[in-house]
Amino acid sequence: MSYRLTIEPLGQTVEAEEGQTMLDACLRAGVWLPHACGHGLCATCKVQIVDGEIENGSASPFALMDFERDEGRALACCATLQSDVTIEADIDEDPDARHVPVRDFIGVVTAHSDLSPTIKGITLELAEDFDFQAGQYIQVHIPHDEAPRAFSLANPPGTGRRIELNVRRVPDGKGTAWLHDDVKVGDPIRFAGPFGRFFVRTSDPKPLIFIAGGSGLSSPRSMILDLLQRGETRVITLIHGARNRSELYYREELAALATAYSNFHYVPALSEPSEACEWSGFSGHAHEAAAAHFGGDFREHRAYLCGPPPMIEACIRTLMQGRLFERDIFTEKFLTSADAAQGVARSPLFRTL
Amino acid sequence: MNMPAAPNGPKKLSLKENYALLTRGLGWDTSYEDMDKAFPLDKFEGIRIHDWEKWEDPFRLTMDAYWKYQGEKERKLYAIVDAFQQNNGQFNVVDARYINTLKLFLTGVSPLEYAAHRGFAMAGRNFRGTSARIACQMQAIDELRHAQTQAHTISQYNKFFNGLHDPGHMHDRVWYLSVPKSYFEDAMTAGPFEFVTAISFSFEYVLTNLLFMPFMSGAAYNGDMATVTFGFSAQSDESRHMTLGLEVVKFILEQDPANIPIVQRWLDKWFWRGYRLLGLVSMMMDYMLPRRVMSWAEAWEMYFEQNGGALFNDLARYGIRMPKYHDVASMEKHRLSHEVWGIFYNYTHAAAFHTWVPEQAEMEWLASKYPETFDRLYRPRLEYWRAQQEQGKRFYNPTLPMLCQTCQIPMGFTEPDDPTKICYRESDYRDNKFHFCSDGCKDIFDNEPEKYVQSWLPVHQIYQGNCFRPGVDPTAPGFDPLAEVLLYYGYHVGEDGGEYLDSPDRRNWEQWTGKPAVAT
């Protein structure tokens, strides 16, 4: 038995299992609520119940007062749902979020090709149009496996029933091995989506920096194609880091865009160029390329980062020391199960980074 | 009137917008007086603030909600304290040794709550950003309440146990209480930015778990439900204070790159000062709680090395590194509590609480928690003291100790790489020699010598004749300076300090409760 929990002012709805706390349900669904102690003592996660029935659980009488219980307040870290519930939480509304509802889909593989030695491009055709915001991802169902795998959409919105994925082969990864080796043109693929809060803050007038590592290029590509198609005039800079020349996929397409649009700059960087690469571009990691391109000063920009966790962390440090902070930086981390297992402990210093 | 509802009624405001509208315009810029004259203290520290609007207010609490909230909280707290008193809850603690942690807390820490109240009131006055002023104001009121509720909660114990009768008087005079007192006064006499970095961030955020966790869980483990209750009551405020601490450093670090080295120096300084202060907590955890929660070394690993490590890993994004000498603190974790307890065992006749040699079973616990140091370095000393005591020669050190000029703790700490050798450091300043317990304390002095040469060091003050009651004649025949100092401290000599087993507290406990003086 599960209930639907709607979070205002976002308007986003998540599922909460019986006995699951509101906070847990929100965090697992990617909705951040303020929280600290996690067990009902500090009152940081206090929310207002707008509609529905809840159980207050073990909220401390010093953290959630009687008059507050009477007024319909609850501590999200302790409260469980007794019906569908709407809450109002102390979180910032994002004017650029479209809140496209999540749905289940089946797509048929119409193209399956090598973009690089480790990355497959997979195109799916759906029975109906697929609506999403550029930068969002889908959860692909892998046969005989409970956990779905997340892949960003590489195509811009508005391509109707056709979507594209860039799938990097994870060493010893079961899901990506299936997508690389077993899936053929004509096969059906089940997925749910769209998910994620990684999208361009179009209402913000500042110039944009995209930094992509490996197959993390898919979201930035979707976002940039979308921006350029809509006639974007802000300066857009894409830094794409790859190991060597053969991993630098979509290079021709992006270089052509940089020629066609004077406000778009494409900066590829190779971390391990070999003789065979005949490389005359930037040698080094993506964050080093960014520092070199902007002279270490990123003020008055917005940055969008997409790639593996070490790359994201290196970029955040570079950007922060170049005076760009949490409110200016948006990320999508690609966590494989191996990455998640060795993740470093974080403090509550940053909310989203 | 039948007004049709607007088809798309006005959009409901988010809590943040609501708060912003409610509090907007509370501040103003002075017109006939220069702003720099109205706020004369927020520039001299070198901190550059370009945009106070970037301050993210972590509180979003209005005064009317605040009174309502705290009013109910205190009604609940005092209801529990009343019940505690009516049921003679003070006799439900595990044994009377436990009360000594309360004596140390009420005389050492509760006055800091009051000092924090004063400090936040001053810092709030000196910030020109409105949100920062309001945040400091709210916290100033919180701290005043905490001082009050702690005094009320613990005052019940004063009716039955010695040493709790005048914490305010003692705090301003007693040698070991100058450690917490000087710590806070150092912060209060700095500028407003250093004060909030020191107290809101370094103390409330980085180190507070090491103070409140052992004290509150210690209370629960040892049957002191009154203290547990005020702990719960205070914790619902502490999270706001901790959030403020995080917001303060983020705000300062993001405002200007020139702020980063200044903040780093403050973090280095206040880490070490806080760590030295927590030496008192280490002995509380390992020696003073009859029922132990966890060892100091375990607490240091969990709360500083792991949680603090994650925090400094995040701060590295701003170019901030781990505080200087954090590695020394980790090297010392297996000896800190033993060295501090040794100091207090020596001088317990001049303290307002009792000390004792741990029981055999307690020594086994210490040996299991400190396998590398306890049996080798500290058990032989404790057993020697026990043997002396059994021969009627309980050891008291009749001399006065040399104090560290910075932390004001007697110089009993050891070399980082040799736990058998006392660590001595010194600096020369204006033809005088100043002494320190550690490189950390020496660095702090060397950075601001003009400040620390003014320290009110209790031992120096005794030698200078400043610690006798008015009218006392030190030249009179048979004058006993040490006995006179204890009267100046406001002690009930023969009752408040000394060996626990010889104390009236112990005799009273046995008579009143019929329970053993030392719980097994």
pLDDT of residue A67: 86
The angle formed by the CA atoms of residues A15, A21 and A27, to the nearest 5 degrees, is: 65
C-alpha–C-alpha distance, residues B503 and B505, integer Å: 5
pLDDT of residue B5: 45
- The beta-carbon neighbor of A62 closest among B232, B254, B311 is B232
C-alpha–C-alpha distance, residues B399 and B414, integer Å: 20
Interface probe with A: pick from B15, B202, B240, B306, most Cβ of A within 10 Å: B15
C-alpha–C-alpha distance, residues B133 and B139, integer Å: 10
- Please tell me if the domain spanning A2-88 has the same topology as the one spanning A103-195: no
CA B239 vs. chain centroid, Å, equals: 17
Chain A residues touching residue B319 (CB < 8 angstroms): 320-321
Q: How many CB atoms lie within 10 A of CB B76?
A: 17
Q: Which amino acid is at B189?
A: T
Domain ranges of chain A: 2-88, 103-195, 208-341
Q: Which amino acid is at B328?
A: V
- Quick check: helix, strand or coil at residue B305? helix
Contact B232 A66 (CB under 8 A): no
Chain B residues touching residue A35 (CB < 8 angstroms): none
Give the tens place of pLDDT for each residue, B315-343. 999 999 999 999 999 999 999 999 999 99
pLDDT of residue A234: 94
Q: Which residues contact B462 (CB under 8 A, 6 or more apart)?
A: B400, B481, B485
C-alpha–C-alpha distance, residues B261 and B254, integer Å: 12
A103-195 CATH: 2.40.30.10
- Rounded to 10 degrees, the C-alpha dihedral B4/B10/B15/B16 comes to -160
What is the nearest CA distance from B5 to chain A, expressed in angstroms?
20
How many helices (H) and strands (E) are present in chain A, helices listed first? Answer: 8, 19
Question: Cβ(A114)–Cβ(A82) under 8 Å?
Answer: no
pLDDT of residue A329: 95
Give the tens place of pLDDT for each residue, B216-231. 889 999 999 888 887 8
What is the nearest CA distance from B376 to chain A, expressed in angstroms?
35
Which positions 234-263 of B are in contact with A (Cβ < 8 Å)?
A: 235-236, 238-240, 242-243, 246, 250, 254, 257
The two three-digit tokens of residue B515, written as one number? 């329970």
Q: Which residues pair with B426 in a beta bridge?
A: B435
- The beta-carbon neighbor of A344 closest among B73, B254, B313 is B313
Q: Which amino acid is at B314?
A: D
Laid out side by side, the sheet with A73-75 consists of: A12-17, A2-8, A85-88, A46-51, A73-75
C-alpha–C-alpha distance, residues B127 and A110, integer Å: 63
Interface probe with A: pick from B14, B212, B249, B318, most Cβ of A within 10 Å: B14
Q: Does B169 touch chain A (CB under 8 A)?
A: no
pLDDT of residue A330: 94
Give the tens place of pLDDT for each residue, B392-410. 999 999 999 999 999 999 9
Task: Domain A208-341: give its CATH architecture.
Answer: 3-Layer(aba) Sandwich (3.40)
pLDDT of residue B4: 46
C-alpha–C-alpha distance, residues B327 and B305, integer Å: 10
* Structural domains of chain B in order of their starting residue, each with its CATH number: 58-513 (1.10.620.20)
Contact B242 A36 (CB under 8 A): yes
Identify which of B350, B330, B342, B491 has the alpha carbon closest to the alpha carbon of residue B416.
B330
Provide the residue count of chain A.
353
Question: Cβ(B336)–Cβ(A337) under 8 Å?
Answer: no
Q: Which residues does chain B have with pLDDT short of 50? A: 1-7
Q: Which amino acid is at B240?
A: R
Which positions 310-369 of B are in contact with A (Cβ < 8 Å)?
A: 310-311, 313-319
Give the tens place of pLDDT for each residue, B3-61. 444 445 566 777 777 777 776 777 888 999 999 999 999 999 999 999 998 887 766 77
Per-residue pLDDT of chain A (353 residues; tens, 9 = 90+): 789 999 988 888 888 999 999 998 887 777 878 877 778 888 888 999 999 999 999 898 888 988 889 989 999 999 999 999 999 998 877 888 887 877 889 999 999 999 999 999 999 999 999 999 999 999 899 988 877 888 999 999 988 899 999 999 988 888 999 999 999 999 999 998 888 889 999 898 999 999 999 889 999 999 999 999 999 999 999 999 999 999 999 999 999 999 999 999 999 999 999 988 899 999 999 999 999 999 999 999 999 999 988 999 999 999 999 999 999 999 876 666 665 556 667 777 887 78
A2-88 CATH: 3.10.20.30
C-alpha–C-alpha distance, residues B336 and B276, integer Å: 9
- Rounded to 10 degrees, the C-alpha dihedral B496/B501/B502/B505 comes to 40
Q: Where are the alpha helices (DSSP H) in B62-109?
A: 63-86, 99-108
B451: alpha, beta or left, given left = phi > 0 and alpha = psi -120 to 50?
Answer: alpha
- SS3 track for B459-485: HHHHHCCCCCCCCCCCCCCCCCHHHHH
